[in-house]
């Protein structure tokens, strides 16, 4: 196989298998080339991945070694994407009764969701994440998008037990904003004890849901190594009960009378 | 930029933008190369995509022309993947009380979910799909995986209206297997009238849920151009009320006494 052909095959394979160690002999055999040629190919791929701002290849030497693609959306690309997302959210047509914002179209757009996942995955790339946890239902797409890039499974916490989940662990918690008692359940067999996890959700107000998830995960002795929310509400009347999180956007002000929404970049882009 | 470098950049760009027409001048400008070189590059990429069984490039001539990547998982690759999925599902450890099967681990695995999405997207590639529709919550991951490949938005039908969805259209329907009256709602602004859609869900027994979705979509004058379910139950006592669907796997027999599960390939691979 020619170098040009190998490069197309390798680029595709690496993009499809993020975070996975691939041995050089694997490429040498499937692409029918010398290991030295494969090494040169990988240098080219690595250069281009970095130039395109989509990540890098990490080479691990030795008999058990190989190459691993670490996806990483550059901070500039991430920032540009989030700025455009803020603009789209400021459209007054999104205002719903009660001061809520319509966001389902954005969370339904695959490219938007993929980009959000890439940003979270880049933020948590060094955190040794083994599982991405979210709560049904709005956080599910961005949790999968994140897990796709981290190449780890997704686990979904539910509001009600389902017969298809087997035995479950459940907790009651107090919702931060409405002060209502709510329930969360997680299938017992879904998460091995002592796992390293990150929590992903679409929206955080006071943080009651995230806090509830932390309590539930404590039942599994899980280590919460990262918390990422797409949007956080800026709400000064309430005290936030979760503080160790990253947010991509912040909904600063929703004014139903003036028909105005103000959305800014979240804490991930600050400081 | 050298050909080898261009090929890495173009492969990445095309994989990231499936089903989207990209003009040759776009590549010529961003990669700083002559249009004739770009054409030759695209031939190499096209050959390799087909050889790898991941799809093809389609070139559209003329001033408004360009190139489009049509992802397509070859039927052999799809069949091999589904066969291994059937094996994983036949593990007796999946048996739950009531004869249900635990599948959340498989639906939580990003690579499995991506492959399922690729198969559905290949099946519906020629159906002119504008939206992928699913119902909360188990179908959401595979709906997104399908939409990612078709490069169209996902719309989620819910069991209860949510305040963040704005005004909704709701219908009542009779669940096929339990004969209970259930409700489904869809945000009014989520789906333009007269759209071409496909329905994706994780599981179908008698088909009541899918049928309910069809009724709900009729309120939006949508054309249901495809229905895909991951698993269907083989149940001879009941009559299926939906017939125009594809299934990837079929759960043939669940025997709690013998601790045995029989899972075979779905109708997509038959005939």
* DSSP secondary structure letters along chain B: --HHHHHHHHHHHHHHSTT--B-HHHHHHHTT--HHHHHHHHHHHHHHHHHHTSEEEEEE-STT-EEEEEE---HHHHHHHHHHHHHHHT-GGGEETTTEE--HHHHH-HHHHHHHHHHHHHHTTTS---EEEEETTTTHHHHHHHHHHHT--EEEEBSS--GGG-SEEEEEEE-TTT--EEEEEEEGGGS-TT-EEEEEEEEESSSHHHHHHHHHHHTTT-EEEEEEEEEEE--TTS--S--S-EEEEEEEEEETTTTEEEEEE-GGG--
Tell whether the model's pLDDT for residue B122 goes beyond 60: yes
Nearest to B164 among A3, A11, A96 (CB): A96
Residues of A in contact with B145 (CB under 8 A): 144
Average pLDDT, chain A: 94
Per-residue pLDDT at B43: 97
Nearest to A164 among B8, B103, B109 (CB): B103
Q: Over the stretch B159-184, which tens digit does the pLDDT of each residue have?
A: 988 888 899 999 999 876 677 899 99
Per-residue pLDDT at B238: 62
Rounded mean pLDDT, A50-57: 94
Per-residue pLDDT at A271: 67
Its CATH architecture, for the domain A3-71, is Orthogonal Bundle (1.10)
A 192-231 near B (Cβ less than 8 A): none
Nearest to B137 among A8, A15, A137 (CB): A137
Rounded mean pLDDT, B93-122: 94
Tell whether the model's pLDDT for residue A150 goes beyond 90: yes
User: How far, in Å, CA of A56 to CA of A50, rounded?
Assistant: 6
Its CATH architecture, for the domain A75-269, is 3-Layer(aba) Sandwich (3.40)
Per-residue pLDDT at A34: 96
Shortest distance between the Cα of A271 and any Cα of chain B, in A, equals 31
Q: Over the stretch B59-92, which tens digit does the pLDDT of each residue have?
A: 999 888 899 999 999 889 999 999 999 999 999 9
| CB atoms B8 and A48 under 8 Å | yes
Write out the H or E segment, with its range, that includes residue A217: helix A208-218
Shortest distance between the Cα of A29 and any Cα of chain B, in A, equals 15
Write out the H or E segment, with its range, that includes residue A223: strand A223-233
Rounded mean pLDDT, A121-131: 95
User: How far, in Å, CA of B2 to CA of B33, rounded?
Assistant: 9
Per-residue pLDDT at A6: 97
Provide the residue ranges of all domains of chain B, joining segments of one domain with +: 3-71, 75-269
Residues of A in contact with B152 (CB under 8 A): 110
Per-residue pLDDT at A177: 67
Tell whether the model's pLDDT for residue A237 goes beyond 70: no
User: How far, in Å, CA of B211 to CA of B216, rounded?
Assistant: 9
Tell whether the model's pLDDT for residue A194 goes beyond 70: yes
Nearest to A164 among B102, B151, B152 (CB): B102
Average pLDDT, chain B: 94
Neighbouring-strand partners of residue A249? A231, A265
- The answer to whether residue A136 neighbours chain B at the CB level (below 8 Å) is yes
| CB atoms A136 and B141 under 8 Å | no
pLDDT bracket for residue B237 (50, 70, 90)? low
Pick the range with the lowest mean pLDDT from A19-28, A93-102, B76-85, B237-246: B237-246
Per-residue pLDDT at A64: 85
Per-residue pLDDT at B128: 95
- The answer to whether residue A155 neighbours chain B at the CB level (below 8 Å) is yes
How much is the ipTM here? 0.94
Residues of B in contact with A118 (CB under 8 A): none
User: How far, in Å, CA of A213 to CA of A207, rounded?
Assistant: 10
Per-residue pLDDT at B176: 66
């Amino acid at each position: 196989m020619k170098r040009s052909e190998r490069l197309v095959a390798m680029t595709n394979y690496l993009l499809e298998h993020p975070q996975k160690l691939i041995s050089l002999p694997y490429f040498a055999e499937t692409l029918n080339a010398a290991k030295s040629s494969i090494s040169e190919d990988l240098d080219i791929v690595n250069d281009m991945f970095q130039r395109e701002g989509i990540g890098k290849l990490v080479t691990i030497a030795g008999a058990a070694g190989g190459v691993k693609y670490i996806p990483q959306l550059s901070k500039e690309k991430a920032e540009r994407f989030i700025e455009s997302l803020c603009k789209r959210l400021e459209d007054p047509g999104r205002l719903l009764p009660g001061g809520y914002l319509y966001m389902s179209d954005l969370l339904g757009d695959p490219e938007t969701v993929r980009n959000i996942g890439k940003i979270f995955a880049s933020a948590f790339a060094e955190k040794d994440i083994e599982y991405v946890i979210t709560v049904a239902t709005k956080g599910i797409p961005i949790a999968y998008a994140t897990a796709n890039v981290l190449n780890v499974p997704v686990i979904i916490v539910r509001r009600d037990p389902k017969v298809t989940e087997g035995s479950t662990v459940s907790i009651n918690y107090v919702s931060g904003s409405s002060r209502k008692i709510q329930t969360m359940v997680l299938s017992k067999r879904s998460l091995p004890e002592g796992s390293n996890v990150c929590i992903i959700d679409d929206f955080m107000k006071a943080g009651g849901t995230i806090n509830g998830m932390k309590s539930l995960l404590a039942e599994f002795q899980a280590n919460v190594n990262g918390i990422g929310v797409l949007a956080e509400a800026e709400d000064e009347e309430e005290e936030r009960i979760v503080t160790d999180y990253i947010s991509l956007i912040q909904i600063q002000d929703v004014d139903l009378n003036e028909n105005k929404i103000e959305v800014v970049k979240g804490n991930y882009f600050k400081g």
